[in-house]
A and B are shown apart, each in its own frame.
Chain A
Amino acid sequence: EPEVTQTPSHQVTQMGQEVILRCVPISNHLYFYWYRQILGQKVEFLVSFYNNEISEKSEIFDDQFSVERPDGSNFTLKIRSTKLEDSAMYFCASSQTVLGGYTFGSGTRLTVV
C-alpha cells in the first residue's frame, strides 16, 4: 500500500536554529499538508499546499514557517528559528483529491532544547 514517508523520524535542535522536515507524499497525490501534535494533545492543522502554492494556513503557521515542493517528489516544512514551544510531532499528509485518499505519514518528532 502506498505510504507517505517522513524523514528524519526524530530531530533534536537548539533553540534559534533552522530545521527542515522532509516528506515524500504518495506519488499521484496532488494535495499536501502539514499538521502538528504537541505531546498528549490533539492533531492541529498547519498548512495545505496545492498547485505549488499554499491554499490555506492556520494561525500557528506564522512567518517562521514555510513550505516548499522543491522537486516532483519532496514536500518540506522549514522552521526558520525554532522555539521551545515548537517541540511536537509533525505529520505530513497527502491526498489525491480534496479529500480522497487522505493519508498521513508516521511523523517527525522535533525536540527543541
Chain B
Amino acid sequence: GESVGLHLPTLSVQEGDNSIINCAYSNSASDYFIWYKQESGKGPQFIIDIRSNMDKRQGQRVTVLLNKTVKHLSLQIAATQPGDSAVYFCAETSGGYNKLIFGAGTRLAVHP
C-alpha cells in the first residue's frame, strides 16, 4: 500500500483513448521543460521536452503544449496503451542552470 506522502492524482483511461496530463509549473522564468515517465521501482525516463520559445512540440504518440501566460504544461498521449501506465512528472529549469524542479506527478492508469 501507499505510505504517508503526497496522494497522487490519478487519470484512468481506456486503452486506445487519448490521455491528457496537466502540470502547473512554478517559476515564470523557467525556460526549459521536460516530461518524465516513472514506472514502479525505476528512475524517471525522458519522454519529451520543450523550450520556452515554443508552444507545442510533437513526438511519437506524444505532444507537449506550453502556455506561458498561465504557467501550464500538458502532455497528450495518443492511443494510450497499457504500457503507458506509470506516474508522469513535469520538470522545469531556468536561467541555463541544470537543476530540475519536478512537479508532484500524475498517475496514469490504462484499462483494457
List chain A positions with a Cβ less than 8 A from chain B.
4, 31, 33, 35, 38-45, 48, 55-56, 58, 91, 93, 95, 98-99, 102-107
User: Does B70 reach chain A (CB closer than 8 Å)?
Assistant: no
| Whole-angstrom CA separation of A70 from B54 in the bound complex | 40
A104 lies within 8 A of B89 (CB): no
What are 30 of the A-B contact pairs (CB < 8 Å)?
A4-B43, A31-B98, A33-B99, A38-B5, A39-B3, A39-B5, A40-B2, A40-B3, A40-B4, A40-B7, A40-B8, A41-B6, A42-B105, A43-B44, A43-B91, A45-B99, A56-B99, A91-B44, A95-B98, A98-B96, A99-B32, A99-B49, A104-B43, A104-B44, A104-B45, A106-B42, A106-B43, A107-B41, A107-B42, A107-B43
Which positions 84-112 of chain B face chain A at CB distance < 8 Å? 89, 91, 93, 96-105
Q: Knowing that A4-B43, A40-B8 are A-B contacts, what are 8 other residue pairs whose CB atoms are under 8 Å apart, sorted by A's residue number? A: A40-B3, A40-B5, A42-B6, A95-B98, A98-B98, A99-B49, A102-B100, A104-B44
- State the Cβ distance, A109 to closest chain B Cβ, in Å: 8
- Which size class do B's interface residues fall under? 20 to 34
> Which of B34, B41, B89 contacts A42, CB < 8 Å?
B89
> Which of A56, A58, A105 contacts B43, CB < 8 Å?
A105
- State the Cβ distance, B38 to closest chain A Cβ, in Å: 8
